[in-house]
Amino acid sequence: MSERFYVESVPFAETAAVALFDRERPKQNPIFVDFESAQLKFRRRGGVDGEMVVKSFGLSPRERAGRLIVDCSAGLGTDAYLLALAGYRVLAVERNPLVFAMLQDGWRRMSDARTARGEPGLEFRVVAGEGSDVLRELLAAGERPYGVYFDPMFEDESKKGKSLPRKEMATLRDLLFGTVIGGQSPAEFLRYAMGVVIGRVVVKRPTGAPPVLLEPGPVNRIEGKVAGYDIYPCRVAPPRQ
Ligand SMILES: C[S@@+](CC[C@H](N)C(=O)[O-])C[C@H]1O[C@@H](n2cnc3c(N)ncnc32)[C@H](O)[C@@H]1O
């Protein structure tokens, strides 16, 4: 499986981008991260407070500064980027090495572009690894994030309405379902994350799909046309008296 997919540098916007290729779909356009795309610029211009992922974490713009959200399924980083634009401190964790290579490259180009425009840097970091390992490291270092975001791509996910064209989406699905073996189930991960945050855990689901956990279930769902955002409260045990 590992030979089917590979990343390679392609010329892009007077520099280069790390792009994903699929040997079984040789005619397909390369997939890469572009935080400066026209589509994301448009979303950014309109203000990101109305973005569902931002709404799902619930804090007002003033309350967000310095609050850490760990995106434990960063993928190509769009949701993490929107949260960082909204003013959160974001740590984006990605466990697939090929996806991480694209994410890190896109993040670097975006940071360089902001610097070139004289814009302040975002509080946005990317890290390779398993979400729960990174949460454990944060706890060991004495930091509890405000929120955890989880959008792991489920087997039952609908294929419509995604930001990538359908063929490219199919390549990503084949890559992710073909190479990630083992690890915690989404439900196990979620139970763990609820005991780590001080605010909330948000899980993205296809519209109409049932929550990942029913016991304890989400306290709310923000439902959009293609995705729903289940909100689970913090379940940190109170300190012993
Ligand atoms: C559907 S994509 C996420 C898309 C992302 N929200 C975006 O805006 O681009 C899911 C990604 O999460 C990663 N992932 C899933 N479970 C993970 C975990 N426990 N730790 C780290 N990464 C994980 C997968 O490798 C995959 O790249």
Q: Kindly provide the b/e burial profile for residues 162-179, where b requires at least 16 CB atoms within 10 angstroms of the residue's own CB.
A: eeeeeebbbbbebbbeeb
Is residue 156 within 8 Å of 81, Cβ to Cβ?
Answer: no
- Is 239 domain-assigned? no
* Residue 16 reports pLDDT greater than 60: yes
**Within 117-217, where are the H helices?**
131-140, 166-179, 186-194
**Better-scored residue on pLDDT, 235 or 66:** 66
Query: What percent of the chain is predicted at pLDDT more than 70?
Result: 90
- Is 238 domain-assigned? no
Distance 238 CA to ligand 1 centre (A): 30
Determine if ligand 1 sits within 6 Å of the CB of residue 78: yes
- Is 103 domain-assigned? yes
Q: In the chain, how many domains are there?
A: 1
* Model pLDDT for residues 128-177, shown as the tens digit of each residue: 999 999 999 999 999 999 999 999 876 655 454 456 667 788 889 889 87
* Residue 238 reports pLDDT greater than 80: no
Q: Quick one: which of 27, 40, 31 has its CA closest to 12?
A: 31
* Residue 2 reports pLDDT greater than 70: no
- Is 241 domain-assigned? no
Specify the pLDDT at position 158. 46
* Model pLDDT for residues 27-84, shown as the tens digit of each residue: 999 999 999 999 999 999 989 999 999 999 999 999 999 999 999 999 999 999 999 9
- Is 128 domain-assigned? yes
Determine if ligand 1 sits within 6 Å of the CB of residue 102: no
User: What CATH number is given to the structural domain containing 65?
Assistant: 3.40.50.150
Protein residue whose Cα sits closest to atom 5 of ligand 1: 75
The model carries a pTM of: 0.93
Q: Which of 17-21, 23-27, 176-180 shows the lowest mean pLDDT across its residues?
A: 176-180
Specify the pLDDT at position 152. 87
Determine if ligand 1 sits within 6 Å of the CB of residue 94: yes
Specify the pLDDT at position 178. 62
Distance 127 CA to ligand 1 centre (A): 12
Q: Which domain holds residue 38?
A: 5-233
Determine if ligand 1 sits within 6 Å of the CB of residue 95: yes
